[in-house]
């Protein structure tokens, strides 16, 4: 038995499709499968080819054995799933989709079976403490067919998140930073310091796990990342990172949704700097950067039970909820 045999995932219980791991040569057809599905289901976010290309380079979640693609008789990918997990992390994240032409046939249920089996394997491989394997899947509230499938298989909602928009045609807020703080544009040389600040800022946030160098590199080098629309607040005396706002922009989404948005991917303030208006200043700065770049809206997502009171802050600054998503968990 070879190492590949040991690492190979269990078979997906849907014999009408031929299953194997994703490979570099699948990138175009894999991305096309996701795009076909997104054209029908209209999610706010979905993976593009450049993001899949990043996944192929992952060392902690390599495509073999953490992805599976199902090919129809015509050789076209019709379904896929993948697992992402931090070593010794408390949960794995599951992703996937089924071609609209192949839905309602049991493919989704078969993919969940594979995701659950692979999650058990990952916990056995990765975790010295051996906590109970947990699989987490995020879906938008409007996708009721997916919710029905998850509920049927024993998943339950553990958290709600709100997508929020702030029109940039309205007057933009004026926020002045405290003395001793300065706001600067995000630069590559700041990346490591911002990563460490992010891990500190999110240590008390639900579901958050520290970002290692690989996952952080994927974040700041994401094809949609816009460092020119991102900013960092520094303590002038020490140069320490107090807070940060990392932004992105998706031109394809602008075509599909009918408006251009600057999206705040991450917003954080280190605990010892909270209460000094840093988050407000970063959001106000982001709005101005977005508006100057020709965006119509500022947008972000927020945990509905965020312990820092972020939801109240966003409402105060003119954001309003437009969409809801949920985290579904199953302890295996």
What pLDDT digit, counting tens, does each position of 98-110 carry?
A: 999 999 999 999 9
Q: What is the mean pLDDT of the chain?
A: 93
Boundaries of every domain in the chain: 3-154, 162-324
Classify burial at 251, counting beta carbons within 10 Å of its beta carbon; exposed 0-12, middle 13-18, buried 19 or more. Answer: exposed
Token pair in block for residue 219 = 């974040």
pLDDT of residue 126: 83
pLDDT of residue 186: 98
Report the topology of domain 162-324.
Aminopeptidase (3.40.630)
CATH architecture of 3-154: 3-Layer(aba) Sandwich (3.40)
pLDDT of residue 53: 96
What pLDDT digit, counting tens, does each position of 29-69 carry?
A: 999 999 999 999 999 999 999 999 999 999 999 999 999 99
DSSP 3-state assignment of 70?
A: strand
CA distance readout (Å), 216 to 136, 159, 249, 250: 20, 24, 18, 19
Whether 97 shows a pLDDT value over 80: the answer reads yes
DSSP 3-state assignment of 107?
A: helix
Q: Are 313 and 184 in contact (CB under 8 A)?
A: no
Nearest Cα to Cα of residue 248 among 33, 55, 45: 45
What pLDDT digit, counting tens, does each position of 78-88 carry?
A: 999 999 999 88
pLDDT above 70 covers what percent of the chain?
95
pTM of the model: 0.92
| Residue 229, CB-side half-sphere exposure with 13 Å CA sphere | 26
Token pair in block for residue 319 = 């954001």
Beta partners for 165? 299, 320
What pLDDT digit, counting tens, does each position of 196-234 carry?
A: 999 999 998 889 999 999 999 999 999 999 999 999 999
Average pLDDT over residues 294-311: 87
Q: Alpha helices, DSSP H only, in 127-266?
A: 144-152, 191-201, 213-220, 251-257
pLDDT of residue 1: 30
What pLDDT digit, counting tens, does each position of 2-13 carry?
A: 334 334 445 899
């Amino acid at each position: 038995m070879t190492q590949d045999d040991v690492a190979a995932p269990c078979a997906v219980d849907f014999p009408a499709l031929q299953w194997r791991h994703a490979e570099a040569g699948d990138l175009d057809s894999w991305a096309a499968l996701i795009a076909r599905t997104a054209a029908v289901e209209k999610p706010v976010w979905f993976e593009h080819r450049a993001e899949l290309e990043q996944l192929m380079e992952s060392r902690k979640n390599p495509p073999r054995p953490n992805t599976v693609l199902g090919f129809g008789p015509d050789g076209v990918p019709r379904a896929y799933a993948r697992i992402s997990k931090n070593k010794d992390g408390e949960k794995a994240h599951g992703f996937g989709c089924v071609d609209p032409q192949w839905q309602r046939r049991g493919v989704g249920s078969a993919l969940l079976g594979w995701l659950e089996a692979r999650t058990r394997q990952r916990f056995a491989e990765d975790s010295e403490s051996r906590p109970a394997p947990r699989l987490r899947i995020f879906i938008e509230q409007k996708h009721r067919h997916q919710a029905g499938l998850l509920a049927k298989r024993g998943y339950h909602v553990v958290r709600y998140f709100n997508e929020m928009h702030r029109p940039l045609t309205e007057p933009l807020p004026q926020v002045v930073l405290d003395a001793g703080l300065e706001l600067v544009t995000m630069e590559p040389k700041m990346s490591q310091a911002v990563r460490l600040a992010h891990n500190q800022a999110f240590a008390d946030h639900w579901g958050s796990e520290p970002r290692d160098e690989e996952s952080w590199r994927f974040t700041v080098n994401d094809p949609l990342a816009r460092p020119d629309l991102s900013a960092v607040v520094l303590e002038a005396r020490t140069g320490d990172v107090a807070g940060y706002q990392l932004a992105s922009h998706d031109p394809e989404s602008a075509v599909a949704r009918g408006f251009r948005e600057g999206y705040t991917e991450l917003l954080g303030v280190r605990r010892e700097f909270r209460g000094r208006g840093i988050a407000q200043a970063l959001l106000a700065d982001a709005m101005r950067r977005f508006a100057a770049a020709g965006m119509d809206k500022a947008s972000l997502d927020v945990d509905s039970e965020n312990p820092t009171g972020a939801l109240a802050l966003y409402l105060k600054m003119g954001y309003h909820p437009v969409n809801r998503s949920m985290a579904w968990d199953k302890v295996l």
